[in-house]
Amino acid sequence: MSCNTILTVLSLREKYLERKLRYEMKHPEADLQREAVKWMRENLPDMIIFSVPNEAAFRRVNYFRDLGMLKGVSDVIVVGLEQVIFIEFKSETGRLSVEQRKFKAKVESLGHTHLVIRYMSDLKRFFGFPASN
């Protein structure tokens, strides 16, 4: 392998790492969701916990909408024995979109719980755990 090839590979790797860091810094909601899902799976083993990655479908909206994608759906859904909990993760300053507010209202009108979580301590308290757990 020539020196130019090695330098090109290193340069590409450096650009990749910079993009990855910028992405991670701009997505505090994704970081919170990742931490929350991990915590819930460790501490709520009898519940089914799954995400609904609607944002991944934006490029092919019509296709995924025909398959059942719904605007405003919560980030994570938790299914327990007698309850379904819909969780939307937001940064400290994040706000629900119009679609998310409509979805929240519909979920609550059907008698289910819809949470907007900004901090792990709020999630832990909701499930009856001390905030420090």
Chain segment 47-89, per-residue pLDDT in tens = 999 998 776 555 677 777 777 778 899 999 999 988 999 999 9
Question: Where do we find the tokens 């609550």?
Answer: 108
- pTM value is 0.75
Architecture of domain 27-126: 3-Layer(aba) Sandwich (3.40)
Q: Where are the domains of the chain?
A: 27-126
| Distance in angstroms (rounded) separating the CA atoms of residues 42 and 47 | 10
Tens-digit pLDDT profile for residues 27-46 = 889 999 999 999 999 999 99
